[in-house]
């Protein structure tokens, strides 16, 4: 109590000195300290040095707390109590402000703002700069949200499934490597598009894709009729191993790049125009017949392109077995390319990720936001009526495919 009387006496003395510029700030400090001590006494059930049977805890010193006020920065001594913890209601608005700042930093991280720019942003708000470790610590709070999104149950059937990956630079094991960030997007039986999963791994080999697809199945993925992806051998084997009975559509965009890479650049325009006539056909039999005609016409001049075209015939035409209004979106991985492009735009300022978890954190938050946007979209990706025709032998999946799924 002597200390309190000294503080108040000193403050009153300063009030009598007109040229003391710090008098108001000292007054705020003294009053705030008195309020905190009184609140701590009420929390404990006893005053300072007071002996009472109502006591529920004990004081255990103080911790320093900086408090920014309109009259300047004040250094407070916040009482500590044991057992338990104590935080004065006087500073609760500051705690909310800190939470708001953390939210700003998290949002900046998700938007692809670099650590240095986050520090500049904090300084622009009139606060002290923030270190890389502080930014990382705050962003780690996002991990629980990302993990919840990545491991949530997959409900209902998803007839269509797109799979694709893009690579990012990550520091791991003391060196910088390329890690594949894989994404799975599906459309359910009601025509709504959903982000079903994402992960990061050292390569796109069969083992990695197999683990990823198994994780989707464990979470409830079922009813897949068509998988759309690029022609990675490891991915193809993983699909056939895990998603039994599903047809596979080879991404037409990637296929055309591979095909045109086998012909001279001077002839690529003409070859591309001829090959596109295959995909302009109204149904699968017509497209297959046109493919054979095109292959026959290219055989003499471009034997390598002809061989590739004939080998990939069923794979690049698989989407013709499904409702006509779906085919434009089933023939390639373009829906995922847009997602990858957005993630790349956000990760460009990061450059090299410090570890694998930071890549998953950023990609996961972006994909979770995209999934939320799709969930509240005004329009389905495919109409409910057209989704009902997937399993029809006429205009839908072929009979043998339906039998395999059944």
Q: Which of 8-17, 131-140, 216-225, 392-401 has the highest mean pLDDT?
A: 216-225
CA distances from 337 to 239, 332, 359 (A): 20, 9, 18
CB-CB neighbours of 210 under 10 Å: 17
**Tokens of residue 209, six digits:** 């894709």
Quick check: 311 pLDDT over 80? Answer: yes
Quick check: 373 pLDDT over 80? Answer: yes
Q: What is the pLDDT of residue 96?
A: 47
Residue written as token pair 């492009």: 341
User: What pLDDT band is residue 205 in, cutting at 50, 70 and 90?
Assistant: confident
Closest CA relative to residue 284, chosen from 245, 238, 315? 315
Q: What is the pLDDT of residue 398?
A: 46
Count CA atoms closer than 13 A to 21's CA, side-chain side. Answer: 1
Among the residue ranges 17-21, 67-71, 102-106, 366-370, the one predicted with the least confidence is 17-21
More confidently predicted of 1 and 129: 129
User: What pLDDT band is residue 72 in, cutting at 50, 70 and 90?
Assistant: low
Cα–Cα distance for residue pair 41/59, rounded to 1 Å: 9
Q: What is the pLDDT of residue 156?
A: 93
Quick check: 394 pLDDT over 50? Answer: no
Cα–Cα distance for residue pair 25/73, rounded to 1 Å: 8
CB-CB neighbours of 127 under 10 Å: 13
Mean pLDDT value across the chain: 80
Q: What is the pLDDT of residue 208?
A: 92
Quick check: 294 pLDDT over 60? Answer: yes
**Cβ atoms of 209 and 238 closer than 8 Å:** yes
Pairing mode, strands 352-353 and 160-172: parallel
Average pLDDT over residues 175-200: 94
Quick check: 314 pLDDT over 90? Answer: yes
Q: What is the pLDDT of residue 75?
A: 80
Among the residue ranges 13-22, 183-192, 266-275, 306-315, the one predicted with the least confidence is 13-22
Residue 230 parent element (H or E): none
More confidently predicted of 40 and 11: 40
**Cβ atoms of 145 and 329 closer than 8 Å:** no
Report the percentage of the chain scoring pLDDT > 90: 42
More confidently predicted of 10 and 184: 184
pTM > 0.75: yes or no: no
**Tokens of residue 81, six digits:** 């109590």
Query: Please, what is the angle between helix 303-311 and helix 284-298, to 10°?
Result: 160
Q: What is the pLDDT of residue 16?
A: 46
User: What pLDDT band is residue 44 in, cutting at 50, 70 and 90?
Assistant: confident
Largest CA distance in the chain: 105
More confidently predicted of 169 and 394: 169
Count CA atoms closer than 13 A to 330's CA, side-chain side. Answer: 27
265's CB contacts (< 8 A; 6+ apart) are none
User: What pLDDT band is residue 124 in, cutting at 50, 70 and 90?
Assistant: low
More confidently predicted of 386 and 341: 386
User: What pLDDT band is residue 340 in, cutting at 50, 70 and 90?
Assistant: confident
Quick check: 238 pLDDT over 70? Answer: yes
CA distances from 111 to 13, 115, 153 (A): 53, 12, 27
More confidently predicted of 307 and 65: 307
More confidently predicted of 78 and 157: 157
For the chain, domain boundaries = 2-87, 94-139, 157-405
Q: What is the pLDDT of residue 27?
A: 67
Q: What are phi and psi of 348, to 5 degrees?
A: -60, -40
User: What pLDDT band is residue 43 in, cutting at 50, 70 and 90?
Assistant: confident
Quick check: 133 pLDDT over 70? Answer: no
pLDDT digits 0-9 by tens, 251-264: 999 999 999 999 99
151's CB contacts (< 8 A; 6+ apart) are 219
378: left (phi over 0), alpha (psi -120 to 50) or beta: alpha
Closest CA relative to residue 214, chosen from 233, 226, 229, 199? 199
**Cβ atoms of 141 and 207 closer than 8 Å:** no
Cα–Cα distance for residue pair 354/352, rounded to 1 Å: 6
């Amino acid at each position: 109590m002597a200390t309190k009387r000294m503080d108040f006496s000193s403050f009153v003395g300063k009030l009598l000195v007109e040229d003391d510029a710090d008098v108001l700030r000292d007054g705020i400090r003294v009053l705030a300290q008195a309020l905190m001590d009184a609140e701590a006494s009420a929390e404990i059930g006893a005053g300072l040095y007071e002996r009472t049977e109502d006591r529920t805890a004990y004081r255990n010193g103080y911790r320093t707390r900086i408090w920014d006020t309109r009259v300047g920065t004040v250094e407070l001594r916040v009482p500590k109590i044991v057992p338990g913890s104590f935080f004065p209601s006087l500073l609760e608005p500051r705690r909310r402000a800190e939470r708001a700042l953390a939210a700003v930093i998290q949002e900046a991280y998700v938007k692809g703002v670099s650590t240095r720019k986050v520090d500049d942003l904090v300084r622009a708000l009139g606060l002290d700069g923030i270190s890389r470790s502080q930014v990382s610590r705050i962003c780690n709070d996002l991990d629980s949200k990302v993990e919840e999104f990545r491991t949530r149950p997959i409900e209902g059937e998803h007839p269509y499934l797109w799979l694709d990956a893009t690579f990012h630079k990550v520091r791991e094991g003391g060196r910088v490597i390329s890690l594949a960030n894989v994404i799975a997007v599906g459309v359910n039986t009601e025509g709504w598009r959903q982000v079903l999963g994402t992960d990061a791994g050292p390569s796109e080999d069969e083992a990695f894709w197999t683990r990823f697809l198994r994780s989707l199945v464990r979470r409830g993925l079922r009813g897949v009729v068509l998988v759309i992806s690029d022609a990675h051998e490891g991915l193809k084997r993983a699909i056939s191993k895990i998603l039994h009975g599903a047809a596979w559509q080879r991404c037409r965009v990637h296929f055309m790049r591979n095909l045109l890479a086998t012909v001279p650049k001077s002839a690529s325009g003409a070859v591309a125009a001829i090959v596109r006539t295959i995909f302009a056909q109204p149904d699968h039999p017509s497209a297959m017949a046109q493919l054979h005609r095109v292959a026959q016409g290219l055989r003499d001049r471009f034997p390598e392109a002809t061989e590739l075209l004939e080998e990939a015939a069923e794979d690049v035409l698989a989407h013709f077995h499904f409702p006509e209004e779906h085919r434009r979106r089933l023939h390639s991985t373009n829906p995922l390319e847009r997602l990858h492009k957005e993630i790349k735009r956000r990760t460009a300022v990061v450059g090299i990720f410090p570890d694998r978890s930071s890549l998953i954190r950023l990609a996961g938050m972006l994909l979770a936001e995209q999934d939320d946007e799709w969930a509240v979209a005004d329009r389905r990706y495919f109409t409910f009526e057209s989704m009902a025709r997937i399993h029809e032998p006429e205009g839908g999946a072929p009979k043998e495919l339906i039998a395999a799924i059944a």
